[in-house]
Amino acid sequence: MKKWLSIILMCMVWITSSIFASATNQEEGLVIAFNGEQTEYYSVFCDDTHYVPMRKVFEKMGASVFYRSRDGQIMALSRDGDIIRHIVGENHIVFNGEQKTVEMPSFSKDYETYIPIEMVSETLYPDDISYNEQHLNIQKYMFNSDYHKVIQDVLDLCSLSNFYPERFQRYIDFHAKMPVYSVQEAIARVNLGLDYPFYENVATIEHPDELLVLVNKYHQLPEGYAAYNLVNMSREYTVNDGKQYLLLAGAYEHYVQMAEAAEKEGLSMRVVSAYRTEDYQRFLYNNKLRTNGKIYADNYSARPGFSEHQTGLAVDINSTRVAFEYSAEFKWLQEHAHEYGYIMRYPKGKEWITGYAYEPWHYRFVGIEAAKIIYEEGITYEEFYAKYVSVNEFR
């Protein structure tokens, strides 16, 4: 029984090694040194090629190396902002998106990936590898420590599940530009596309019917999208102009409770805008565009397909004037809206995140659970979304 087991094991070892080691006559190569300083690492010499342990070598050069199980890639992120990617058993290495092919593939030995030394010279330091009888010397690049502090901070988080190496440079740029946010926050924001100008890099929303749908200047409702399950608001909760006001059933139910509670305090809350169709939003936006120009229109009005009002989850209450913020109704909403699952969607000072000027009148239904978190943490819906909803999967 034991004999069989060991034979099977030997076969497995043989199979594995023949997959990864393209040549059989491996021998210990040279001591690896950096700037003439010896390390305890050796190259493996095989078929006239020196192979070096990828992780150890790149880490010695100041890069952060990690294995991404999602696609089996080993990644080295250098302190210079370079991204090096490799899959064990392949004979190419990708340097900042450019594929470099060498003669021999890498192999795996003692849980370490050994890459041909050409992969090192093809990527970072072409002329900086030299040999003598005992040493394989790699000339290490020297970094400017000030600039690289930012990069190092970003690198420290490279193994987070929402860290996308292809966005590495954007994380660095954003963190350098907005140091007030932690690296973790910078990563979450870049993953939401908040480092791009508004209306650039727009994604079409996949599930527009979800309660927690994010509609903003980077996330567009599918063309021709129309909400369903809308209900007609009772006249007692809307402005009395003869028009019909529609909301999604769940949002309406909570709105009624909120309005009733406010009324008990002697306040009056009347909806002046609720559900809008794409066509109506187009009409509104074009109107603003014609009378006030593009900058103003984009500040105060959403382009068609980009308005929360098209989801049936948003309401404008009492007026659409900033003066609304001085009303007793506004004060009450500030304190209680979240108890009914509503949030003020475009707060003061957060224009650069939301993409809209301060709108004290615009409220969005997100459900009580989400509204409570947003209220307690004092964050925008974008920030909430980045932190709790889209941590992993966003673009």
| Stretch near Zn ion under the rule CB under 5 A, chosen from 10-18, 142-150, 230-238, 357-365 | 357-365
Complex with Zn ion: residue 350 or 362, whichever CB lies closer: 362
Residue 130 CB contacts under 8 Å (≥ 6 apart), including other chains: 136, 137, 139
Residue 351: what are its φ and ψ, rounded to 5°?
-60, -35
We find the least distance from the C-beta atom of residue 346 to Zn ion, in angstroms, to be 8
> To which residue do tokens 């294995």 refer?
67
CA atoms in the 13 A half-sphere facing the CB of 57: 30
Q: Where on the phi/psi map is residue 394: left (φ > 0), alpha (ψ -120 to 50), or beta?
A: beta
Nearest distance, CB of residue 308 and Zn ion, angstroms: 7
CB of 363 to Zn ion, least distance (A): 8
Q: Which is nearer to Zn ion, 55 or 345 (CB)?
A: 345
- The residue type of 4 is W
Identify which of residues 286 and 390 has a Cβ nearer to Zn ion in the complex: 286
Per CB under 5 A, contacts with Zn ion among 117-156 are none
Q: How far is CA 295 from the centre of its chain?
A: 27
Instruction: Tell me which residue of 267, 217, 226, 269 sits closest to 246, measured CA to CA.
Output: 226
Q: In the bound complex, what is the minimum distance in angstroms from residue 120's beta carbon to Zn ion?
A: 57
CA 106/CA 104 separation, integer angstroms: 7
- The amino acid present at 10, given as its one-letter code, is M
CB of 243 to Zn ion, least distance (A): 15
369 in active site: no
Q: Which two tokens stand for residue 388?
A: 């709790």
Tokens of 370: 């989400």
Considering only the stretches 17-25, 30-38, 215-223, 354-362, report the one whose residues sit in contact with Zn ion under the rule CB under 5 A: 354-362
If the CB atoms of residues 78 and 318 are measured against Zn ion, the closer one turns out to be: 318
Q: Which helix (H) or strand (E) holds 177?
A: helix 168-177
Q: Which of 359, 377, 382, 383 is catalytic?
A: 359
Q: Which is nearer to Zn ion, 33 or 247 (CB)?
A: 247
Footprint of Zn ion on residues 10-69 (CB under 5 A)? Answer: none
DSSP 139: P
Of the pair 278, 316, the CB lying nearest Zn ion is at: 316
Distance CA 310, CA 227 (A): 7
Tell me the backbone φ, ψ of residue 180, rounded to 5 degrees.
-65, -25
State the nearest-atom distance from the C-beta of 186 to Zn ion, in Å: 29
363, two tokens: 């409220």
Window contacting Zn ion (CB under 5 A); options: 278-286, 327-335, 356-364, 377-385: 356-364
Q: Using CB under 5 A, which residues numbered 270 to 329 contact Zn ion? A: 316
How many residues sit close enough to Zn ion to count as binding (CB under 5 A)?
Answer: 2
Residue nearest to Zn ion (CB): 362
Restricted to residues 360-379, the positions that interact with Zn ion (CB under 5 A) are 362
Residues taking part in catalysis: 359
Footprint of Zn ion on this chain (CB under 5 A)?
316, 362
